[in-house]
Amino acid sequence: MTSALLSQAMCGTVDTPLLPLPDRVVGLLSELGSPPRLAAHLRAVHDVAHQLAVWLEQHCPAVAFDREAVLFGAATHDVGKTVHVSELSGPGAAHEEAGQALLLAHGVSPELARFAATHASWARSPVGLEDLLVSLADKIWKNKRVPGLEDLVVARLSDATGRAVWEEFIALDEVLARIGDGADERLAFQASFPIHG
């Protein structure tokens, strides 16, 4: 049975307007007994990924990317923290492989399960634009700017649009600054939910 706190974190009405998590993710997190704080975090990152996807579609309509994969990846990227709960409040990367394995065990395709493993490894291996967008959402939700990650996104956009790198940099910087302005509210939303409960 899903707790009231978990349900509120995933899809309840909140002061900070955040999109609810997709039904498939709600079912998965409920089945796994997700900590409410994890669900709140996933909801915040999912909302930011949605904002990035909308911006990308408007700014670079010719850029091909799998919007639904980005949204699912953002909504599940830290699912391994249902197993490695200590990583909700402390450092650790054990949740990455565990999350991918959990998703695969629950019938999620490898193409979608990969985000649990790639969201923190964008600098170590070649990844697609979708992976970069999930990683970016996982940083900018709390207004953390990561120049190396942003440079990779800018390069992909410049290659796809033919516009100068500096033009893409300015455009991305503007949208990240705008999204980052809501970080305090998203952080407060996440912190309002307990790790256990």
* Beta carbons of 78 and 42 less than 8 angstroms apart: yes
Residue 52's pLDDT band, with cuts at 50, 70 and 90, is very high
> Is the pTM value of this prediction over 0.75?
yes
Q: Which long-range CB contacts under 8 A does 12-20 form with residues at least 24 apart?
A: 14/189, 15/185, 15/189, 16/182, 16/185, 16/186, 16/188, 16/189, 18/43, 18/44, 18/46, 18/47, 18/186, 18/189, 19/43, 19/46, 19/47, 19/50
Q: What is the pLDDT of residues 77-128, one digit of tens each?
A: 999 998 887 777 777 766 778 889 999 999 999 999 999 988 777 777 678 8
pLDDT at 176: 97
CA–CA dist 58, 52 (Å, integer): 10
Query: Rounded CA gap, 2 and 9, in Å?
Result: 11
Res. 73 pLDDT band, cuts 50 70 90: very high
pLDDT confidence of residue 93: 66
Task: Enter the DSSP assignment of 190.
Answer: H
Q: If pLDDT is split at 50, 70 and 90, which confidence band does 43 have?
A: very high
State the average pLDDT over residues 145-161: 93
* Whether pLDDT at 1 is above 50: no
What pLDDT, on the 0 to 100 scale, is given for residue 94?
62
With a cut of 50, say whether residue 47 has pLDDT above it.
yes
Q: Which of the listed ranges 10-24, 125-139, 164-178, 183-197 does the model predict with the highest average pLDDT?
A: 164-178
Mean pLDDT across the chain, nearest whole number? 90
Residue 147 has pLDDT above 90, yes or no: yes
Given a cut of 90, whether residue 37 has pLDDT beyond it is yes
How much is the pLDDT for 197?
64
Q: Is a pLDDT exceeding 60 seen at residue 172?
A: yes
pLDDT for the residue numbered 16:
74
